[in-house]
Amino acid sequence: MSQLQVRPIRTLDAAFGVPGDKSISHRAAILGGLAKGTTTIRNFLPSEDCVNTLNTMRALGAGVEILRELDGHGPLDLRIEGRAMKLQPPAEPVDCGNSGTGMRLLAGVLAGQPFESSLFGDASLSSRPMGRITTPLGKMGARIETRGEKPGCAPLHIHPATLRPVSYTLPVASAQVKSTVLLAGLFADGRTTAIQPAETRDHTERLFETFGIPAVRDGHAIHIDGGRVPAACDLTVPGDISSAAFWLVAAAAIPGAALRVTNVGLNPTRTAILNVLARMGAAIQEHAHTTHGEPIGDIEIRGASLRGTDLRLREIPNLIDEIPVIAVAAALATGTTTIRNAAELRVKETDRISTVVENLRLMGTDVTEFNDGMEIRGGAPLRAAAIDSHGDHRIAMAFAIAGLFADGETTVTGTDCIHTSYPGFAAHLAAVQNHLTDPAAYQLPTRTPA
Ligand code: S3P
């Protein structure tokens, strides 16, 4: 099992980009595979999760040509020849690996097909709730069996079905559930509506528009009309702000540190972490380069002595994936940070309330666990520790960042999972630890396939 050894740092002065956005990469592969014509995707995230989704579209008949790869990982730039909505049955059960997004969105695509299919994943994914998608898909006429050992969990077995449109009010603020319903709606005859209880990331709506499918927004409701065929397009995936978050926190917590994260997504449904770090005392500037489709730009951050803050109800869906590393920032801040209304964390790749609380305590932080969050009383020096990622990529990376502030060498074990979202994290960590300032030192090696 792989591990990371992390030594403390005292300064950080760097400018670099992080790999492509995971949420957008999944959706681009799916819509590219459904579209009519050839879509070019640049800066795709070559992580295990997204490669599984791309392979699924290939198994459903899409043609994939790889133009450039991240060495040792997967495709960065690719062309995908879509099926104009006419998919072919997959020869084998579909492997979604560790990815809830992959499994849920693909179930939306497969629910309305004239053929059978099965979706399975690893142990973590097989214990995550799938009722949240089988319920709305069932209302649309889908016939999906959850065949997991745990009730309501994967593997999913999807029977052939003809879908009808629905108007569905989501019981949880989940972009995955919203996207599943909207993707299934593409195959239903009529207008499908997803109504979210709070705003969630809107990449599906934006990408529908990019592929020429109107996604009509009306407050928290989104309508789409079935029967349309997405039109192939060229797109560039922005850097993933959820990956940038690790370095933003590292820089924020070192007074005098300066970091510029380049070409990162600045979609306002994802940038609440910047508001939180600003409230904690960091100085942050956004420099947008392009605002059409998905806004992309640079984030400049200067570190400070952080102070605690309370996360706001509306911010939670916007920064749900950043909470483990925000908890680390809270441990480094003086005063109290409160995170409530975040019970969704319990059904992520791990129960992230318990894995964060356990690891913060190991490092000497005073923290109270609640059903729906935690209260962190920060400011005590962090103790170097042996941290278990529990197979969760964001726990592994968040506690590698904590290790940069500990009083000795921290070991994070079980770090293979990092490949599900951030190939190249270990190289970036090494560059930060070696105080490298040249952006070239952060460039990950790429190759053109023969
Ligand atoms: C995602 C939505 C979020 C997030 C996940 C990716 C997406 O999940 O945690 O990492 O791409 O739609 P929920 O929408 O289920 O909260």
Query: Nearest CA to 156 among 84, 87, 96?
Result: 96
For residues 96 and 120, is the Cβ–Cβ distance under 8 A?
Answer: yes
Confirm if 106 and 56 have CB atoms less than 8 A apart. yes
Report phi then psi at 74, rounded to 5: -170, -170
Distances (CA, A) of 156 to 107, 108, 121, 298: 8, 12, 10, 40
Q: Ligand 1, atom 13: nearest CA belongs to which residue? A: 174
> C-alpha distances in angstroms, 26 versus 9, 224, 225, 258, 319?
35, 19, 22, 32, 19
- Specify the 3-state DSSP secondary structure of 434: coil
366 CB under 6 A from ligand 1? no
CA 420 to mean position of chain CA atoms: 10
Q: Are 81 and 61 in contact (CB under 8 A)?
A: no
- Collapse the DSSP code of 165 into the 3-class scheme (helix H, G, I; strand E, B; otherwise coil) and give the result: coil
CATH class of 3-19+238-447: alpha beta
Contact 334, 361 (CB under 8 A): no
- Helices and strands (DSSP H and E) totals, the chain: 12, 23
DSSP secondary structure, 215-283, as one string: -EEETTEEEEETT--PBP-EEEPPB-HHHHHHHHHHHHTSTT-EEEEEEEE--TTT-HHHHHHHHHT-E
Would you say the CB of residue 176 lies under 6 angstroms from ligand 1? yes
pLDDT computed for residue 448 by the predictor: 95
Cα–Cα distance measured from residue 414 to residue 295, given in angstroms and rounded to the nearest whole number: 34
pTM exceeds cut of 0.85: yes
Q: What is the CATH number of domain 22-236?
A: 3.65.10.10
What pLDDT score was predicted for residue 291?
77
Residue 179 Cβ contacting ligand 1 at under 6 Å: yes
3-state secondary structure of 186: coil
How confident is the chain (450 residues) per 10-residue block, as mean pLDDT?
A: 95 98 98 98 97 98 98 96 98 97 98 98 98 98 98 98 98 98 98 98 98 96 98 97 98 98 98 98 96 93 98 98 99 98 98 98 98 98 98 98 98 97 98 97 94
Tokens 């006429």 sit on residue: 141
| Index of the ligand 1 atom closest to the CA of residue 204 | 12
Q: Which of 257, 249, 244, 239 is nearest to 277 (CA)?
A: 249
pLDDT of 450 = 81
How far is it, in rounded angstroms, from Cα 215 to Cα 206?
Answer: 8
Least Cα distance to 267 among 301, 234, 244 occurs for 244
What are the extents of the domains in the chain?
3-19+238-447, 22-236
Q: Cis peptide leading into 155, omega within 30 of 0?
A: yes
* Beta bridge mates, 382: 406
Residue nearest to atom 10 of ligand 1 (CA): 321
Q: Say what the pLDDT of residue 290 is.
A: 87
- Tell me, what's the pLDDT at 1? 73
Q: Cα 183 vs. chain centroid, distance in angstroms?
A: 18
Decide: 419 and 445 in contact? Cβ < 8 Å: no
DSSP 380: S
> What radius of gyration do the chain's Cα atoms show?
21
Report d(CA 314, CA 370) in Å as an integer: 19
Identify the three-state secondary structure at position 408: coil
How far is ligand 1, taken at its centre, from the CA of residue 174, in Å? 6
Is 320 close to ligand 1, i.e. is its CB under 6 Å away? yes
Cβ of 344 less than 6 Å from ligand 1: yes
Please provide the size of the chain in residues.
450
Give residue 171's pLDDT: 97
Give 175 Cα–ligand 1 centroid separation in angstroms. Answer: 6
Among 321, 372, 392, 416, which one carries the catalytic annotation?
321
21 belongs to the catalytic site: no
Report yes or no: 75 and 54 within 8 Å, Cβ to Cβ. yes
Pairing state between β 75-81 and 63-70: antiparallel
Measure the CA–CA gap between 327 and 10, rounded to whole angstroms. 20
Residue listed under structure tokens 């003809």: 162
pLDDT for the residue numbered 292: 80
What pLDDT shows up at residue 80?
98
Q: Do domains 3-19+238-447 and 22-236 have the same CATH topology?
A: yes
User: Could you tell which of 174, 179, 393, 421 is best to mutate to test the pocket of ligand 1, judged by most ligand atoms within 8 Å of the CB?
Assistant: 174
- Burial class of 100 by CB neighbour count within 10 A (0 to 12, 13 to 18, 19+): buried
Our answer on whether the CB atom of 101 is closer than 6 Å to any ligand 1 atom is yes
